[in-house]
């Protein structure tokens, strides 16, 4: 634990920023109290999220912390080089009842400017708080971190209160062993047949069929999407995986970049015309091929040619697959030209749009070349580009 004087000095600076007030204003505050007493605390990992759980003996809200010159912060430092350290504090406005998280990067010589952290904060009472966030939101990575909850008060006579000026838990900093999460699956949910997302949500999904492939190499699609920080959904033909991605490195790169992989059958047949046993084989063989290559089990599939039947949709769902269609078709498979692909996608853009394009089954250079302008146009219209799984709110499974 840092020395009390240093902790109180840090709290004075942090508390002023959280309250949106000067230190002089804080000193003049009418109510004087001690530090909020900590009952229990933990820092754990759940998939991509780091979860901070805090239970206190005293009630607290953002307004009460600001008014009483108190701060509740999670002190975080890297257990090994490179150096990293900071304070993740419970903040919010004096009037706001729901807490937010504010992070301050801390070095030996200075405390950095505060910035709001993207996090999910829930409360079951005024004695409890659970906050989930990704390490990147505080400038950290998935590695072991030492942590300790610091509860402090800068009130003039806080030492006269039962709680005193500081409370810490644990007494010595604990170690949270974080690891880079590996996506191993997703859970089918909602409707079994989907043509698009919600018309009320301003997002769109780029989805590509018929790969992996070699003209151009699938890696060119992955790199282009990564360059523009756009996740996509790739529906794969199982029989092509061993030829175009024998080691699984291409598909693992997809998942590492935030892309989603779906089932597009083993041989790309007209599934609705097949007997049920063969339909099942087409889907299961591809699921197994994707799992062997990546460790990931898909929960999405797209029927070749869009041919479906109620029985086929039900069969797919029994295998843990949601049937994904589309509501925007630039007909890139016909090689209409880069400009025509861009115009088609841009003109037909809509809330909950799922675009059907191709990264295999023929030369797909036009589709690849259209992507940068396609992405720019959609972003210029304010669309958030997401995977189909994210659009549908499906749960991801990590280990």
Q: Which tens digit of pLDDT belongs to each residue from 106-134?
A: 887 678 888 999 999 999 999 999 999 99
pLDDT at 248: 97
pLDDT tens-digit readout, 156-184: 778 767 667 889 999 999 999 999 999 99
Three-class DSSP category at 30: coil
pLDDT tens-digit readout, 372-390: 999 999 999 999 999 999 9
Q: Which helix (H) or strand (E) holds 13?
A: helix 4-19
Asked whether 3 and 11 are in contact (CB, 8 A), the reply is no
Distance between CA atoms of 217 and 72, rounded to whole angstroms? 51
Distance between CA atoms of 168 and 170, rounded to whole angstroms? 6
| Residues classed as catalytic | 209, 358
CA 42 to chain centre: 21
pLDDT band at 7 (very low <50, low <70, confident <90, very high): low
pTM strictly above 0.75: yes
Asked whether 237 and 267 are in contact (CB, 8 A), the reply is yes
Architecture in CATH of 183-398: Alpha-Beta Barrel (3.20)
Domain boundaries, the chain: 4-176, 183-398
Distance between CA atoms of 44 and 219, rounded to whole angstroms? 34
Q: 192 exposed, middle or buried (CB, 10 Å; 0-12, 13-18, 19+)?
A: middle
Three-class DSSP category at 73: strand
At CA 178, angle to CA 140 and CA 43, rounded to 5? Answer: 90
The least confident of 26-35, 62-71, 124-133 is 26-35
pLDDT tens-digit readout, 214-272: 999 999 999 999 999 999 999 999 999 999 999 999 999 999 999 999 999 999 999 99
Give the mean pLDDT of the chain: 90
pLDDT band at 6 (very low <50, low <70, confident <90, very high): very low
């Amino acid at each position: 634990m840092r020395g009390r004087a240093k902790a109180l000095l840090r709290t004075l600076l942090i508390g002023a920023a959280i309250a949106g007030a000067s230190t002089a204003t804080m000193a003049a505050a009418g109510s004087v109290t001690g530090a909020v007493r900590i009952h229990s605390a933990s820092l754990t990992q759940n998939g991509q999220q780091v979860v901070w759980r805090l239970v206190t003996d005293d009630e607290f809200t953002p307004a009460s912390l600001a008014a009483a010159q108190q701060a509740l912060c999670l002190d975080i430092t890297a257990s090994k080089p490179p150096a990293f350290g900071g304070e993740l504090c419970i903040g919010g406005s004096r009037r706001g009842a729901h807490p937010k998280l504010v992070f301050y990067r801390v070095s030996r010589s200075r405390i950095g400017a505060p910035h709001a952290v993207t996090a999910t904060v829930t409360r079951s009472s005024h004695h409890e708080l659970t906050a989930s966030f990704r390490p990147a939101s505080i400038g950290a990575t998935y590695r072991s971190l030492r942590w300790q909850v610091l509860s402090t008060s800068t009130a003039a006579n806080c030492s006269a209160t039962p709680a005193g000026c500081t409370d810490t838990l644990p007494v010595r900093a604990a170690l949270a062993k974080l690891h880079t999460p590996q996506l191993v699956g997703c859970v089918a949910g909602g409707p079994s047949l989907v043509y698009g997302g919600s018309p009320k949500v301003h997002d769109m999904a780029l989805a590509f069929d018929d790969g992996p492939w070699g003209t151009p190499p699938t890696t060119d699609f992955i790199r282009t999407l990564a360059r523009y920080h756009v996740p996509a959904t790739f529906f794969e033909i199982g029989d092509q995986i061993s030829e175009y991605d024998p080691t699984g490195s291409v598909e693992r790169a997809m998942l590492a970049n935030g892309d989603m992989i779906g089932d597009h059958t083993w041989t790309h047949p007209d599934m609705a015309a097949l007997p049920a046993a063969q339909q099942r084989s087409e889907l299961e063989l591809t699921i197994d091929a994707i799992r062997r290559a990546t460790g990931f089990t898909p929960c999405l599939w797209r029927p070749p040619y869009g041919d479906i039947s109620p029985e086929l949709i039900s069969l797919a769902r029994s295998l843990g697959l949601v049937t994904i269609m589309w509501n925007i078709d630039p007909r890139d498979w016909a090689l209409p030209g880069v400009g025509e692909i861009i115009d088609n996608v841009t003109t037909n853009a809509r809330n909950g749009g799922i675009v059907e394009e191709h990264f295999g089954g023929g030369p797909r250079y036009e589709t690849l070349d259209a992507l940068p302008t396609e992405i720019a146009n959609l972003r210029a219209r304010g669309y958030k580009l997401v995977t189909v799984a994210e659009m549908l709110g499906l749960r991801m499974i990590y280990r």
